[in-house]
Structure 1
Amino acid sequence: MPVLRFGLAANRLHHETYGAALFKWLERSAGGVRELGIQFHTVGRTCDAIERSGLLQNYSGLIRYPYGREGGLMKLVARVTEGRDGSEPFDGAIYLIDPVDPSSIFPEALALKRQCITHGRPFVSTLMGAVEWVEIERIAAGLPADTAVDDLFDFSHQTLALIAHDALKNQMVEFASRHFDLLSRFARRVGTGTTSGRLNELAWSRGWPRSAPWVHAYLSGPLGGDAQIADQVLERRCQRVIFFEDPHVARQHEADIQLLERAVRVVTEHACCVASPAVAYRWADAAARRMGAAA
């Protein structure tokens, strides 16, 4: 089994006291982390907190990086783009973000997310997402499902948001077509503007009844659709966002996009976001495999 390498960091809110998100994640996922042997290249204070907790005691895969003020998060960005000393680049990053911590919008934080999206690697920023992603990697490695996280894969009680920037709308339709049966398991699907219309056309072509839209359409992103979905996330009426972001163009409604992302992080235990086609396919392939095995 190839060694997985992830960057790892958490804002102070998520590691300062026991019971914070970092510890809740490890309480649920430490077993999977050990099974997979994931290397976590971990920024200073986050590493200190994990060591004090004992939740990964004697685990050789916990690798210390400098404190954030000494460039630790900056180093993670570089390792997402290329390896070091002949090693492969990071496979992704888990950065548990406090949405009101100013450091969450420092250049290195924004760059970490952008480089993960650019290179098609997961950027995980919520507790729900971190627990789920360890399970996704377990399933991808051929390990049996962890029944302790079955609740995350009970899509019949969840709402999924499907959003795509203009250059990636075709890829969103292709993704939905390939995983139509899986996405149809959700209790409800929502989306913005044109993307919703195209996804509904796809569903109707697949036999979905025209009297009931497959995707409930909100406004387009620039007119407030992202903000409408953010409100649903905050009300815990939407648990998942698959947002195909184009990292190479300036967005006229960047503030609305950031609002949606912050909303997901506010309810960190109850929502998660996938931000690129490559990661969405990996998630969907593993989720479909897991559900097929359960069936």
Structure 2
Amino acid sequence: MNIALIAHDRKKKDMVNFSLAYKHIFAKHTIFATGTTGKKIQEATGLEIHRFLSGPLGGDQQIGSKIASDEMDLVIFMRDPLTAQPHEPDILALLRLCDVHGIPLATNVATAEILIKGLERGDMQWRNVFKK
């Protein structure tokens, strides 16, 4: 499965910690991330990360393109709902694309953990239902 990881600046540490906790699961899948987030995860975990541009430079839009092309299976976007900066990726476009294409998107650690645990158990058969 292809998994996208994105994090607002104040949530990058949470994303790194999450990636460390579930490294054994992420290692079995193809991981994509926006530039800075991907770099931090790669440095902390040693996982191979396919890095796009940083969010402010369009990395979130590159991930959106993968979603629209049916090349992404799961998105984890750790967003800062209170102090997100204008230069940070906007979740609304990705949320809309994920809803249109039936791709699960987690916006916090709790939901991300549920999705990752489901992935670990092999409970992600939803992709077969939504494939066109």
Instruction: Indicate the TM-score class for this superposition, using the shorter chain for normalisation.
Output: 0.7 to 0.9
Please tell me the residue identity of whatever aligns with 1:275.
Answer: T
Distance 1:255 1:218, change over 3 A: closer
2:28 maps to which of 182, 185, 188:
185
Indicate whether 1:161 and 2:23 are aligned: no
TM alignment of 1:69-148, pairs within 5 A: none
- For the 8 Å contact 1:224–1:256, the answer to whether it is kept is no
- TM value normalised by structure 1: 0.39
Indicate whether 1:200 and 2:34 are aligned: no
- For the 8 Å contact 1:231–1:263, the answer to whether it is kept is no
Give me the whole-angstrom Cα distance separating, in 2, the residues matched to 1:170 and 1:264. 24
- TM value normalised by structure 2: 0.82
Distance 1:222 1:179, change over 3 A: same
Please tell me the residue identity of whatever aligns with 1:166.
Answer: D
Please tell me the residue identity of whatever aligns with 2:72.
Answer: C
- 2:13 is matched with 170
Give me the whole-angstrom Cα distance separating, in 2, the residues matched to 1:224 and 1:169. 17
Q: How far apart are residue 253 of structure 1 and its match?
A: 4.5
Which stretch shifts more, 277-286 or 250-259?
Answer: 250-259
2:74 maps to which of 218, 240, 255:
240
Structure 1: 4+ residue segments shifted above 2 A = 253-257, 281-288
Give me the whole-angstrom Cα distance separating, in 2, the residues matched to 1:227 and 1:184. 24
Give me the whole-angstrom Cα distance separating, in 2, the residues matched to 1:254 and 1:265. 21
Give me the whole-angstrom Cα distance separating, in 2, the residues matched to 1:255 and 1:287. 25
Q: How far apart are residue 255 of structure 1 and its match?
A: 7.3
- 2:83 is matched with 249
Secondary structure of the structure 1 residue equivalent to 2:60: helix
Q: How far apart are residue 254 of structure 1 and its match?
A: 6.7
Identity of aligned residues (%): 34
Q: How far apart are residue 280 of structure 1 and its match?
A: 1.5
Distance 1:283 1:217, change over 3 A: same
Which stretch shifts more, 244-253 or 190-199?
Answer: 244-253
Give me the whole-angstrom Cα distance separating, in 2, the residues matched to 1:225 and 1:257. 12
Q: Which has the larger radius of gyration?
A: 1
Give me the whole-angstrom Cα distance separating, in 1, the residues matched to 2:119 and 2:71. 21
Secondary structure of the structure 1 residue equivalent to 2:97: helix
| Structure 1: runs of 5 or more not aligned | 1-157, 209-213
Give me the whole-angstrom Cα distance separating, in 2, the residues matched to 1:286 and 1:233. 20
- 1:27 is matched with none
Give me the whole-angstrom Cα distance separating, in 2, the residues matched to 1:197 and 1:255. 16
Secondary structure of the structure 2 residue equivalent to 1:219: coil
- For the 8 Å contact 2:8–2:79, the answer to whether it is kept is yes
Give me the whole-angstrom Cα distance separating, in 2, the residues matched to 1:287 and 1:160. 11
- For the 8 Å contact 2:8–2:88, the answer to whether it is kept is no
Q: How many pairs are equivalent?
A: 122
Give me the whole-angstrom Cα distance separating, in 2, the residues matched to 1:203 and 1:284. 16
Q: RMSD across aligned C-alpha pairs, in angstroms? A: 1.9
